[in-house]
A = this chain, B = another copy of it.
């Protein structure tokens, strides 16, 4: 603390015509949160920059000080929805090496599902909507999602006592989280364990293998939940 005790009650710049609802969040994050809610609630293409501004409590033009446009907002939203899982995928590869593929696959499901549960306003839904996926800027996210499916497929095939395993199919089972949330339901940790068990079961794992995988992945991830 310097000698300036000045509590930052008034910030630099002209004051808003409506005060911020939650000023613990940066303006950028306020915009992001409002956008997520609107994009998921009414669709990306169907949401105007004016509606976003209204929800935040600023004028439409003021958005452009923080973001270059609607697509840049969407981009940051998608990043935060997809990245967390892939950032942890190295850690999961380690689990595979130490404790086997079943434990690794179980851990992947638990992490991926947590990402989807934590996504603000269920923004994971956006990644399958044509008005989003047809955008040029979506390409990198599409390839990221392909990587994720590829990981599911590798893990699943290593576990499998079953002829064919499709990565897309396994990832789809996890994406039930998005469906539940869209339906208004809350997805618990228990629900996610059920999903993880279902994925392993789809790969032909036995009940015992699944229970071991659950225990190991819990120990390895030092779950905080």
Chain A interface (Cβ < 8 Å from any Cβ of B): 39-46, 125, 128-132, 134, 168-169, 172-173, 175-176, 179-180, 182-183, 198, 201-202
Q: Using Cβ atoms and an 8 Å threshold, which residues of chain B touch A132?
A: 43
Q: Chain B residues near A183: list those with CB within 8 A.
A: 168
**B182 adjacent to A176 (CB under 8 Å):** no
- Inter-chain CA distance A130–B131, complex, in Å, is 10
Are A180 and B202 closer than 8 Å at their CB atoms? Answer: no
Give the top 3 A-B pairs by smallest Cβ distance, nearest first: A43-B131, A45-B45, A45-B46
Complex CA gap A41/B135 in Å reads 10
Q: Is the CB of A41 within 8 A of B169?
A: no
Q: A168: which B residues are within 8 A, CB to CB?
A: 176, 179-180, 183
Q: Is the CB of A46 within 8 A of B179?
A: no
Contact of A39 among B128, B130, B179, B182 (CB under 8 A): B130
**Once the chains are docked, how many angstroms separate the CA of A168 from the CA of B168?**
19
Report how many copies the assembly holds: 2
Report chain B residues within 8 Å CB of A46. Answer: 45, 130-131, 134
Main SS class of interface, A: helix
- Closest B residue to A126 using CB positions: B130
Contact between B129 and A131, CB atoms less than 8 A apart: yes
Is the CB–CB distance between A40 and B130 below 8 Å?
A: yes
Smallest Cβ-Cβ distance to A171: which chain B residue: B179
Closest B residue to A146 by beta carbon equals B183
CB-defined contacts of A198 to chain B, threshold 8 Å: 202
Chain B proximity of A206: nearest CB distance (Å): 14
| Residue numbers in B under 8 Å from A180 (CB-CB) | 168
A176 to chain B, nearest CB (A): 5
* A129 contacts B179, C-beta separation under 8 Å: no
Interface-central residue, A131, A180, A182, by most chain B CB under 10 Å: A131
Most chain B beta-carbon contacts within 10 A, residue among A39, A130, A172, A176: A130
**Are A43 and B128 closer than 8 Å at their CB atoms?**
no
Could you tell me the distance between the alpha carbons of A125 and B43 in the complex, rounded to whole angstroms? Answer: 14
